[in-house]
Amino acid sequence: GEHAWTVLHADFVEVGEEGTGIVHIAPAYGEDDMKLGQAHGIPVKHHVTESGHFEDFVTDFAGQLVKPKDEGDITHMDADIEVIRALAARGRLFAKEKISHSYPHCWRCDTPLLNYATTSWFVDVPQIKDQLLAANNTVGWVPGHVGENRFGKWLEGARDWAVSRQRYWGAPLPIWRNTANGQVKIFGSLAELQKHVPDYGNQFFITRHAESAFNTKGVL
């Protein structure tokens, strides 16, 4: 509704010498924001598409890129400027100013990036943390301080580990889901996976990169 907002306390907000100490949160676009939202039962609502455009229900800016790449007459500030204009037109703009700060960009194409909540596969690391710590103590690390400090400290504070990726060249996860009944099967090896593949007489096992499992003679 019109007043669908609330004020929450969060210790990750830095007040500094200026500002009100009040910031907006967007649970779908930031880790700290999502944790705060989940703690208070705030739903994760996307108003931006996976391609970086405002959803149609954001009527004032529907279809507009949230963070476009600087290119020709287009600048990364275009959407911000439109939002400021809309606030000013409604008499809701308190103040505006320009600041410089670091912002993540794609290292390949220099396009501005957005944190974006998606459904992912995670390893429940806290559940096996004690086993991991014990196993780490049996590893002969070279140099030794890596296992004790950097890696060991990471294990001590280990949390859920996202192993899935949204990129077509990534390694496929060995997981099958039956769309009819929702049953999930996770395979521990290529041999185990092949046991569940119907036998059509094909001697080749095709992976995403078109590599043959029987490529001993460099056929492919």
- State the pLDDT at residue 7: 86
Query: What token pair was written down for 119?
Result: 């459904």
Segment 11-31, tens digit of pLDDT? 887 776 666 678 888 999 988
Question: Does the reported pTM lie above 0.85?
Answer: no
Tally the residues of the chain.
Answer: 220
Rounded Cα distance between 76 and 65, Å, is 9
List helix spans (H) across 41-124. Answer: 78-89
- State the pLDDT at residue 210: 47
> Which residues have a Cβ under 8 Å from the Cβ of 91 and sit 6 or more positions away?
none
Q: State which amino acid sits at residue 183.
A: Q
Phi, psi of 128 (to 5 degrees): -115, 15
184, 175 Cβ separation under 8 angstroms? yes
131, 123 Cβ separation under 8 angstroms? no
Residues of the chain short of pLDDT 70, as ranges, are 1-4, 16-20, 168-170, 202-220
- State the pLDDT at residue 101: 85
160, 124 Cβ separation under 8 angstroms? yes
Rounded Cα distance between 152 and 154, Å, is 5
